[in-house]
Every structure is written in C-alpha cells, then in structure tokens.
Amino acid sequence: MLVHSRKAKWAVWLVFAVLFLPLFALPLLVVLGASFATNWSGVLPSGFTVSHYTAATRGEALQALTTSLVTALTASLLALTVGTWAALAAAGLKKRQRRLLDALFVLPVAVPSVVVGLAILVAFSKPPVLLNGTRWIVILAHAVLVTAFAHQSVSAAIVRLDPAYEQAAASLGARPVYVLWRIRLPLLLPSLTAAAGLCFALSMGELSATMMLYPPDWTTLPVLIYSATDRGALFAGSALAVVLMTATLLVLLIVSRVRTRASYR
C-alpha cells in the first residue's frame, strides 16, 4: 500500500529482516540451540546432548518447575479475584472515586518489583504477621505484582460491556448478585481468561521480587536459572529456560482454548 514498486518492497522487507531476525528471533534460537549443546565456541553450538534436559526434568529442577507452577497458579487466582472485584466495584462508583481506585490498583506497575519485594520483606519479617521464610511471602508478592495487570484488563472489558443485558435482567427482577453471577461474569469470561493468562505468564517469569524473598525450600524456576548461569552452567541454564518457556506457552495455549470456547457461548 505504502510502497508500490516491487524493487522497493523487497528493499523494505530486507531492512525488516535485517532488523527483526538478529534482534528478536536470534536470542530465542540461541537459547534453544545452547540447551542441546555442551560448548559453543564457533558460529554454531557443538557437542549435541540431551543431558541438560534429563537433568532439567528431575530432582531440583523438577521441584523448581512445580514451585513455579504452583506459585503462578495461586498468585494468578488471587490477583484475578482481587483485581476483578476491584474493577467491578469501581464500575459502580462515582467518577472521582473510580479514578482514585483505578490509580491505586495500577500503582504496583509503576513501583519497581525489587522495591515491592523489599517492602514485603520489611513488612512481613516481624510480628504480627511473620511470613518470611515461608512460601506464602513469594506467592503474595507475585499476587501483588500481577493484580495491577488483572485489574487493568478486566476494567477495560467492563467499559466495553453492553449495559442492555444487565438492565434487562434487573428490570425483570434479578437481584444484583444474580445479575453479577449470571450476566456480567459470563460476559466478562473471555477477558477474565485473557487476564488469567497474562498474570500466569508474568508470574512464571518473575525474578526481581522473588530474588529478594525466596526461602531455600521455595526456589522458583527463574531463580534456579539465575543460580545456574551465575555459577557458569550456561548450557544447563538454557535448558531450564526452554522448560520455563514451554511450560508458560502450554498453559497459555490451554487458557486460550478456554477463551475461544467461552467466546462462542
């Protein structure tokens, strides 16, 4: 549309490929290639092996994967509940109160995750609520970090909701709770699952706050990847990273399946 001659088109595509491939495709390919290799001193990795993967799917690594999955699932559910509740409640408020509530709930995006970690560490390392050293401190930190994203995507969807359905239901005598449960939440289901996927992916890859908080018996996969690369085991770390990406993508795929089915209802 913008460029008409064939020659110019190819020139533009060439520039695109030169920019796009090395910057975005190469890093992922490098990590994937390295995960199957024992050393990399030339252009291509050498010493094909799957031993990193056998190591990455048992013992400590498997434990870390389960830890990450449990953390991400729990944190996403908590964040989704609180974020959706806040978004629904905000929709019923007056404009100024709603803005205040929205601002409050996006604040965790702007605060550095390291600081969120530090703050939670400072607050829950002493009575009355002593959580330091337990898995809950990690899960709660993740929940705080992703709540903002859940809240944002759900409140964006509420704005687009057609009020005719709930008004019709209410005019037929449905109580607010019934309208919420049978009309609004089902209509919001596609965006709720999208938000759940986003929260899950963010929590799976969360490193900053986790580094501040994790107890020795609740090591998430990103922390394990860091400790592997930190002691020089780059190839093992790559295999762990591929496991992390695959697990994230699999869950996202399942979530998007739920979403398509929900939007067809």
Partner 1 sequence: MSEVVRRVRGGGGWARSSPRPLGVALPPVLILTLLFLYPLALVVQQSFQPGTAYGDVFASELFRTALWTTVWIAVVSTLECLVLGFVLALVIAFVPFPGARTVARFIDVYLSFPSFLITLALLFIYGTTGIVGSFQFLATPWGVLLAEVTYFTPFVMRPVLAAFSQVDTAQLEAASSLGARAPRIIRQVILPEALPALAAGGSLVLVLCLNEFGIVLFTGAKGVTTLPMLVYSKAILESDYPGACVVAVVNVLISVGLYGLYRVVSRRVGA
Q: Which of residues 81-120 bind partner 1 (CB under 8 A)?
A: 82-83, 85-86, 88-93, 97, 101, 103-116, 118-120
- 207, 223 Cβ separation under 8 angstroms: yes
Nearest approach, Cβ of 49 to partner 1 (angstroms)?
A: 16
Task: Give yes or no for residue 18 binding partner 1 (CB under 8 A).
Answer: no
**What does DSSP assign to residue 43?**
S
Nearest approach, Cβ of 259 to partner 1 (angstroms)?
A: 13
DSSP letters, 132-192, are TTSHHHHHHHHHHHHHHHHHHHHHHHHHHS-HHHHHHHHHTT--HHHHIIIIIHHHHHHHH
Nearest approach, Cβ of 110 to partner 1 (angstroms)?
A: 3
Residue 123 vs 130, nearer CB to partner 1: 123
Q: Give Rg (Cα) of the chain.
A: 23
Residues near partner 1 (CB under 8 A), total: 97
d(CA 76, CA 147): 8
Residue 65 vs 169, nearer CB to partner 1: 169
Binding mask 182-221 for partner 1 (x = CB under 8 A): -xx------------xx--xx-xxxxx--xx---------
Question: CB-based burial of residue 70 (10 Å sphere; 0-12 exposed, 13-18 middle, 19+ buried)?
Answer: middle
Residue 54 vs 97, nearer CB to partner 1: 97
From the list 80, 179, 187, 195, which residue makes contact with partner 1 (rule: CB under 8 A)? 179
From the list 176, 181, 250, 254, which residue makes contact with partner 1 (rule: CB under 8 A)? 176
Nearest approach, Cβ of 63 to partner 1 (angstroms)?
A: 19
- 113, 145 Cβ separation under 8 angstroms: yes
Binding mask 217-246 for partner 1 (x = CB under 8 A): -----x--xx--xx---x--xx--x--xx-
Neighbours of 218 (CB within 10 A): 22
Helix/strand/coil percent split, the chain, to 5: 80, 0, 20
Q: Rule CB under 8 A: which of 125-164 touch partner 1?
A: 140, 143-144, 147, 163
Task: Give yes or no for residue 12 binding partner 1 (CB under 8 A).
Answer: yes
Say whether 254 sits in a helix, a strand or coil.
Answer: helix
Interface stretch with partner 1, choices 49-57, 58-66, 77-85, 186-194 (CB under 8 A): 77-85
